[in-house]
Amino acid sequence: MNKKIDRGQATREHLVAVATGLFTEHGYDGTSIEAVLRAADVSRGALYHHFPGKDALFAAVLDTVYDRVEAEGARAIEGMDDPAVALRTACLTWIRSAADPVVRQVMLIDAPAVLGWQRWREGDEARTLGKLKAALRFAAAEGRIAPIRVDFFAHVLLAGLNEIAMLIARAEDQASAAAEGEAAAGDLLDRLLGK
Amino acid sequence: MNKKIDRGQATREHLVAVATGLFTEHGYDGTSIEAVLRAADVSRGALYHHFPGKDALFAAVLDTVYDRVEAEGARAIEGMDDPAVALRTACLTWIRSAADPVVRQVMLIDAPAVLGWQRWREGDEARTLGKLKAALRFAAAEGRIAPIRVDFFAHVLLAGLNEIAMLIARAEDQASAAAEGEAAAGDLLDRLLGK
DNA sequence: GTATGAACAGACCGTCAGTCGGTTTGTCAA
DNA sequence: TTGACAAACCGACTGACGGTCTGTTCATAC
């Protein structure tokens, strides 16, 4: 039971990889299952054997994107012991991750509409948002923000960072926009957490 | 040329009204043109005479929603002469407007995916965002934020308010969530603008 | 009265997501 | 070795949907 399982895994991963490219380039609606099938050279039956539907394929793609972004964040703050510095570093890393068209189109634009806002945020909760809240709880313990603000501010901070990332992405002058955006993000952090 | 024009206007407005209800209840993807046609008791030809496509119908719906939200905001700050108070009032009014399912589903969830983030923000620019930036320029003139932050902070503030609105909307206990959310919005404003 | 064009009607078309009855093929127990 | 089994895969088919196209109606202008 190994060759079969391996083959199935390979097909599944191949589909996710191909779909990632197409979803990024043409968006969810602009990408037909037909196109994925052709690009991956896989049959309809095979795809629907691995995924119950188009949205499940999208969810799988989203999952791998999360994995990558999470890994980048974890690598960036590896070994840091000051939580405040780690938070700031993680936020800047996230903005830089969001420069990637895959992250932008899949995570920020299509995900809320495809999965629904609720499911989207629940997914986030278990990943990025959860860690952000932990960091803010630390700030609350230090008396920098009121404990009751932790949840709202975590969401506000994430949404604000996402917005900055999108602004940078669509700017004409990428380099200067990135510099200004990252400075703005730092400023936002200072103000939000009462430096 | 009056009876005809009036009739056309009426049909158009009727379609927009019916579509608003369906888009709100079932989302953009969950609403078929067929369903709009049936609910409005209008023929395909009539609909496609007034709108080049489904996304144009959505854009028209979005437009009327903007109109309503803008009017609510304008009414709320009518006659106020302190720009800081007006800004705060407008922000809270916006959060309350976003309690409306129409605003949530159409403006916040579907619009970015249907129109694309770029077109969505450009539409916002001409409406809410423009006024927000004007208010922040005022804050910058008072030395509360750096002039270079105006654009980024306006976006961050709007995104943050939207996020708070969505959190309130999906909360189990609406009343207490609204109270906490509005307090958080006030706190956010204080911190962002360096009270 | 006749020409004009906006408003509307509805049959029709191509595309797409998803279904379903098969076939292939690796695995394992007898 | 073989035969049962199930995972993996195949592709024709279905129904729904967005959009097109060829008319038809009718208020208005001249």
The one-digit pLDDT tens for each residue of chain B (195 residues) are 566 667 889 999 999 999 999 999 999 999 999 999 999 999 999 999 999 999 999 999 999 999 999 999 999 999 999 999 999 999 999 999 988 999 999 998 899 889 988 888 888 888 999 999 999 999 999 999 999 999 999 999 999 999 999 999 888 998 999 999 999 999 999 999 986
Nearest to B62 by CA among B114, B97, B12: B114
Proximity of residue B43 CB to strand D below 7 A: no
Q: Does A190 touch chain B (CB under 8 A)?
A: no
Per-residue confidence (pLDDT) for residue B88, from 0 to 100: 96
Q: Which two tokens stand for residue A91?
A: 């936020």
CB-based contact B187 A160, cutoff 8 Å: no
Proximity of residue A118 CB to strand C below 7 A: no
Per-residue pLDDT of chain A (195 residues; tens, 9 = 90+): 676 677 889 999 999 999 999 999 999 999 999 999 999 999 999 999 999 999 999 999 999 999 999 999 999 999 999 999 999 999 999 999 988 999 999 998 899 889 988 888 888 888 899 999 999 999 999 999 999 999 999 999 999 999 999 999 888 998 999 999 999 999 999 999 986
CB-based contact A180 B109, cutoff 8 Å: no
| C-beta neighbour count of A162 within 10 angstroms | 21
Proximity of residue A143 CB to strand C below 7 A: no
Per-residue confidence (pLDDT) for residue B72, from 0 to 100: 95
Q: Which of residues 65-94 of B touch strand C (CB under 7 A)?
A: none
Q: Does B51 touch chain A (CB under 8 A)?
A: no
Q: With beta carbons less than 8 A apart as the criterion, state whether A153 and A136 touch.
A: yes
Q: Rounded to an integer, what distance in angstroms lies between the CA atom of residue A103 and that of residue A173? A: 20
Torsion of CA B96, B188, A97, B121, to 10 degrees: 40
Question: Chain A: nearest CA to B28, how far in angstroms?
Answer: 9
Burial of B101 (0-12, 13-18, 19+ CB in 10 A): exposed
Which residues does A20 contact at the CB level (< 8 Å), separation at least 6? A61, A64, A65, A102, A106
Proximity of residue B42 CB to strand C below 7 A: yes
Chain A residues 78-117 with CB within 8 Å of chain B: 108-110, 112-114, 116-117
